[in-house]
Amino acid sequence: MSFVPVTPVEQAEMLATIGLTKIEALFQHIPESLRATSWDVPPGQSEMAVRARLAQLAGHGDGTRICFLGGGYYDHFVPAAVDALASRGEFATAYTPYQPEAAQGTLQSIYEYQSAVCRLTGMDFANASLYDGGTAVFEAATMAVRLTRRQHIVCHDSLNPLYREILETHTANLGLELLDGDDPAGAACVIVQNPAFLGDVRDFAPLAQRCHEAGALLIMSFYPLSLGLLKTPGAMGADIAVAEGQSLGVPLSFGGPYLGILTTRKEHVRRMPGRLAAATEDAQGRRGFVLTLQAREQHIRREKAMSNICSNEALIALRALIYLCLLGKEGLREAAAHCHAKAEFLKRRLSFARLLNPGPTFNEFAIRLPRKAQEVCAALAEQGYLAGLPLSAVGRGEETDLLVAVTEQRTRAQLDAFAEALARACR
Amino acid sequence: MELIFEKSRPGRRAVVFDPLDVPEATLPPALCREEPAALPEVGELDVVRHFSRLSQRNFGIDTHFYPLGSCTMKYNPKMAEAVAAHPGFLALHPHLASAPAMWPLCQGAFELIFELERLLAGIAGMRQVSLQPIAGAHGELTGTLMIAAYHREKGNARDTILIPDSAHGTNPASAAIAGFKVVEVPSLPDGTLDPEAFRKALNESVAGVMMTCPNTHGLFEPRVREIAQMAHETDALMYYDGANLNAIIGECRPGDLGFDVMHFNLHKTFATPHGMGGPGSGPVGVGERLEAFLPGPRVVRDGNAFGLASPPRSIGRISAFFGNFLIAVRAYAYILHLGGDGLRQVAHNAVLNANYVYARLKDLFEPAFDGPFMHECVFSAAPLAKHGVHALDIAKALLDRGFHAPTVYFPLTVKESLMIEPTETESKETLDAFCDAMAEIARLAAREPETLHAAPVTLPVGRLDEVRAARELNCRV
């Protein structure tokens, strides 16, 4: 099986047109010494057999437990229309819109996505997408280095520790210095996250002001769905706001594909990485959309490009757009309000554990248990729960600390039962 | 067509949640947004019609022949979509991998990652593969970061990467983003690499060489082993850009050709459609020299169970978990389905189709090189300039005839370039229809060039004013 439609008779005709008789002759110019020394890929299997094998692997894990696990990736509801529309072949099997007249569907959807993200964040410009939340932090940091010509990047302790690690890997050879804290003096940027990795919700407006007084930029990593309620990065004065877009209609999928969101202020748009769609007209005055400011990109500027990104996450950005349209103005507020209210309800039910957040949280909070968090997670998994993220596993707490997330999908009955199960496991 | 925002009607809803079954909670007003985000207020049918109609304004593989050179726009079986949509994969939380206590809950995913990495390593002649990089260019960045770590470890002061002038733009961009200087090496007039130019460019500052084989001229690099030897003598490492792997799969393996590190484009070669630009997946493969530097953590086998461990001198996490996992699911299913013989047929028929198109067009358009071609062929439209016809006009005229255009104006080494990659999944009659359209366009170029300047006329919009777009920068409503 190879999805090759050419028949043996046609193949012979085609070879004759080329002036050959055997298909192997197409490779005869490659010296024998450069040919594969071994080739031990197993024989092909039928679709039926392959699907059975994959179903077995998919079943050998568990996505059916009631989920209180978050840590930057959340079990939100995905309306059926998101899958139905985003899986249309006309979207899924199209390429990057380099021929705009044959890609108006793609380009208009990017323009609408950019619009929706700007309205959500209070920022001026959004690009067409980056890979994910972690790599978006790296892109934002190097954008700040380009804009300020400074070499220090300051990471606030609110930042997801995985993002910090990704930033460190990507910048290892760039001669940049990564510092911790919130001192903007001499820095290209201070990178914060809201809500924080441990769940705390803050107003970073005062820090934004300190950054600007010191000539640094404030980069904010945000949780898109939380903006149904929370003050926006734009309103706080962020210069670049980035996000993991998974909460907007994207399944958890063991880590990807996800969506990197990047937004910025008007004055910085020419230094922004990634594709950008813009509205324009044809000769007859009809509205149409094109990619613009392409001189920032690798296919034009090569080693002087703002980023090396080529493939992005366009189809996932489309999912996020469809999700935002389906929820709409009121639905997004409702989803965020439900997440918050249900988390607050659970928080109060877990009074046997010590709450580690000093102030308000959105839908996630950290607790200290009387037992090791990993043991508790293992015990609760047996009862059908993903209890949360043991914080020591990501280097952010004691062995007894657990990060618990609640989404709009949890019911009061589930919250009650989980609180009891957790209490039992801690006894 | 109206924007979805223009279809908004105050008070209209699609998704409505159940009434809140716990008490309402409030946050301090200073932490809250003042107004709800001005998202569209539309019903589900509004959304369904809007996006269904938008989709119909696109060319995709499911509807059109799409011979974009270097992009490998082939048909990807629906079977791969079906397995990637399995609820058992979709619901799997990535942080299950973060704590050993939860590893028993993701053994199937670990096994799939382990098995796919092993299969890809075998296909490419590499020792190990990591699925962490999220796209091809991300794989390039990962590879060049590993090259940097290798030289840092050895105390080599290397700051330069050599890249042929025919390379994809991502190669120099990735090397620069990783912190290297880029030196471009010119190609010979026949379109292949000039080993003498390489010999001259290789010095003690060169950390590595990035190559694509077959290159973007559609040509196999016959002196690749010689170049690898020269590079290795100076301890420079060889990087293989896997963008064109579709052409040689089963016939040649990058590891056997002398490459130390490479990326795969799972979305080009292994059954993920391009999704209007992404998501893709760019796993890296490494040989002996870079094995210890792979991104971590990695899935390892421990008896009958799978767990995680980091290589001794790992460069660290390049993405949060295991890259674009659902793309890996598709690739694994595709490899199992095609098997060794099917994969080899992919390369055979991709090369057959490209050479057939070349044979049919070589007297109508000026070939940029003599060949023999692999998976794609490159022509130059420069001779048509005397009629005022350019590559862009040919591209737009093809759109009117129901074909997506080839890649135009790339590679940069060819003036008015037309780069055609038909892929193995297209039938002879489709290729014939495309070649007939090209023949008609060649005739019109000489006799009625103005009809080509007017194209496209059959699509929702004609040629768009890009200068105005960049000047006004209307990027949102």
**Per-residue pLDDT reduced to its tens digit, B158-180:** 999 999 999 999 999 999 999 99
pLDDT at A110: 98
Q: How far is B239 from chain A (nearest CA, A)?
A: 16
Mutate which of B22, B185, B241, B341 to disrupt the A interface (most A C-beta within 10 Å)? B22
For chains A and B, what is the number of CB pairs under 8 angstroms? 707
At a CB cut-off of 8 Å and minimum separation 6, what does B408 contact?
A: B391, B392, B394, B395, B416, B417, B418, B419
CA A67 – CA B16 distance, rounded (Å): 22
DSSP state of B58: B
Residue B459 to chain A, least CA–CA distance (Å):
6
Q: Give one DSSP letter per residue of A192-259, joined into a string.
A: EEES-TT-B----HHHHHHHHHTT-EEEEEE-GGGGGTBPPHHHHT-SEEEEEGGGTT---GGG-S--
Residue A301: φ, ψ to 5°: -95, -10
| Minimum-distance CB partner of A35 among B50, B251, B466 | B251
Alpha carbons B335 and B152: distance in angstroms, whole number: 37
Distance between CA atoms of residues A371 and A426, nearest Å: 6
What is the distance of C-alpha B275 from the center of its chain? 11
pLDDT on residue A296: 85
Q: Using the beta-carbon criterion (under 8 Å), do B339 and A1 form an inter-chain contact?
A: yes
Backbone angles phi, psi at B10, to 5 degrees: -50, 130
In whole angstroms, give the CA distance from residue B441 to residue B426: 21
What is the rounded distance in angstroms from the CA atom of residue A45 to the CA atom of residue A54?
12
Protein fold of B82-337: Aspartate Aminotransferase; domain 2 (3.40.640)
Q: Residue A201: what pLDDT?
A: 98
- pLDDT tens digit sequence for A9-36: 999 999 999 999 999 999 999 999 999 9
pLDDT of residue B415: 96
- A97 at the B interface (CB within 8 A)? yes
Helices (H), B202-280: 224-233, 254-257, 266-269
Tell me the CA distances in angstroms from B337 to A3, A47, A50, A315, B123, one per residue in order.
10, 6, 6, 25, 15
Q: What is the pLDDT of residues A124-137, one digit of tens each?
A: 999 999 999 999 99
Residues 257-296 of A with CB under 8 A from B: 257, 269, 275-284, 286-290, 292-293
Token representation of residue B290: 């870079």
Residue B79 Ramachandran class (φ > 0 left, ψ -120 to 50 alpha, else beta):
alpha
Nearest to A13 by CA among B352, B265, B105, B76: B352
pLDDT of residue A304: 87
d(CA A69, CA A254) in angstroms, rounded, equals 12
Q: Which residues touch A183 (CB under 8 Å, ≥6 apart)? A: A154, A190
Q: Spell out the domain ranges in chain B.
A: 4-55, 82-337
Query: If you count DSSP H runs as helices and E runs as strands, how many of each does chain A have, helices first?
Result: 13, 15
CA distance B450 to chain A (A): 15
Answer whether A85 sits within 8 Å of B55, measured CB to CB.
yes
Chain-centre distance for alpha carbon A381: 26
Q: Tell me, what's the pLDDT at A427?
A: 84
Residues of chain B found within 8 Å of residue A59, distances taken between Cβ atoms: 88, 108
Please identify every stretch of chain A with a pLDDT value under 70, giving residue numbers as ranges.
61-63
Nearest CB to B105 within list A50, A62, A118: A62
What distance in Å separates residue A88's CA from the closest CA in chain B?
7
- Other CB atoms within 10 Å distance of the CB of residue B29: 9
Pick the residue from chain B with its C-alpha nearest to A259: B279
Q: Of A31, A75, A118, which has the smallest distance from its Cβ to B476's Cβ?
A: A118
For residue A297, the model assigns a pLDDT of 86
Look at residues A189, A199, A100 and name the one whose alpha carbon lies nearest to residue A153. A189
What pLDDT was estimated at residue A63? 59
Instruction: Please judge whether B86 and A54 are an interchain contact, meaning their C-beta atoms are less than 8 angstroms apart.
Output: yes
Q: Parallel, antiparallel, or unpaired: how do β-strands B160-164 and B377-380 relate?
A: unpaired
Cβ separation B98–A415 shorter than 8 A: no
Among A221, A239, A149, smallest CA distance to A188 is for A149
For residue B299, give the nearest of A49, A254, A58 by alpha carbon. Answer: A254
Q: Does residue A410 belong to the interface with chain B, where contact is any CB pair within 8 Å?
A: no
Q: What's the rounded Cα separation, in Å, for the pair A158 and A171? A: 20
- The answer, for B149 touching chain A at a CB cutoff of 8 Å, is yes
**What is this model's ipTM?**
0.98
DSSP secondary structure letters along B426-477: S-HHHHHHHHHHHHHHHHHHHH-HHHHHT---SSSS-SB-HHHHHHH-----
Q: Supply φ then ψ for residue A330, to 5 degrees.
A: -80, -40
Any CB–CB contact under 8 A between B197 and chain A? no
C-beta atoms of A328 and B15 within 8 A: yes
Query: Are the CB atoms for A289 and A110 separated by under 8 Å?
Result: yes
The segments of chain B whose pLDDT lies below 70 read none
A291 DSSP assignment = E
Q: Which residue of B has its CA nearest to A388?
A: B95
Chain B partners of A27 at a C-beta cutoff of 8 Å? Answer: 251, 348, 351
Q: How far apart are CA B250 and CA B270, in angstroms?
A: 13
Owner of token pair 């495309």 = B434
> Given this model, what pLDDT does residue A58 score?
94
**CA dist., res. B405 & res. B73, Å (int):** 12
**pLDDT tens track for B433-455:** 999 999 999 999 999 999 999 99
pLDDT on residue A299? 86
Structure tokens at A68: 């209180």
Query: In the prediction, which pLDDT does A298 show?
Result: 86
Distance from CA of A223 to the nearest CA of B (A): 14
- B 271-310 residues with CB below 8 A of A? 273-280, 282, 295
Q: By the CB < 8 Å criterion, does A80 face chain B?
A: no
Cβ <8 Å between B222 and A301: no
DSSP string, B126-173: -SEEE----SHHHHHHHHHHHHHHHHHHHT----EEEEETTS-THHHH
Question: Which domains are seen in chain A, by residue range?
Answer: 66-77+331-426 (3.90.1150.10), 80-321 (3.40.640.10)
CB proximity list for A3: less than 8 A, separation 6 or greater: B74, B75, B77, B424, B425
**Residue B36: how many other CB atoms lie within 10 Å:** 18
* CB nearest to B172's CB, from A27, A283, A302: A302
Does A409 contact chain B (CB < 8 Å)? no
So what's the pLDDT on residue A295?
A: 85
B 322-381 residues inside an 8 A Cβ radius of A? 322-327, 329, 332-333, 335-346, 348-349, 351-353, 355-356, 358-360, 372
Cross-chain residue pair B424–A412, CB shorter than 8 Å: no
Which one of A21, A38, A41 would you mutate to disrupt binding with B, by most B Cβ within 10 Å of its Cβ?
A: A41
Q: Which two tokens stand for residue B292?
A: 């210890």
Candidates A51, A137, A201, A310: best to mutate against B (most CBs of B within 10 A) is A310
Encoded amino acid at B63, one letter: T
According to DSSP, the β-strands at A66-67 and A385-386 are: parallel
- Our CA-based measurement puts residue A132 at a distance from the nearest CA of chain B, in whole angstroms, of 8
Supply the Cα-derived Rg of chain A in whole angstroms: 25
**Order of strands, edge to edge, in the sheet holding B407-408?**
B366-367, B377-380, B417-420, B407-408
Length of chain A: 427
Q: Which residues of B touch A373 (CB under 8 A)?
A: 99
Degrees (nearest 5) of the Cα angle B131, B133, B136? 110
Per-window interface: A 330-359 vs B, CB < 8 A: 330-335, 337-338, 340-342, 344-345
B234 touches chain A (CB under 8 A): no
Task: Quote the pLDDT of residue B426.
Answer: 98
A135 — contact with chain B (CB < 8 Å)?
A: yes
Q: Which residues of B touch A304 (CB under 8 A)?
A: 176
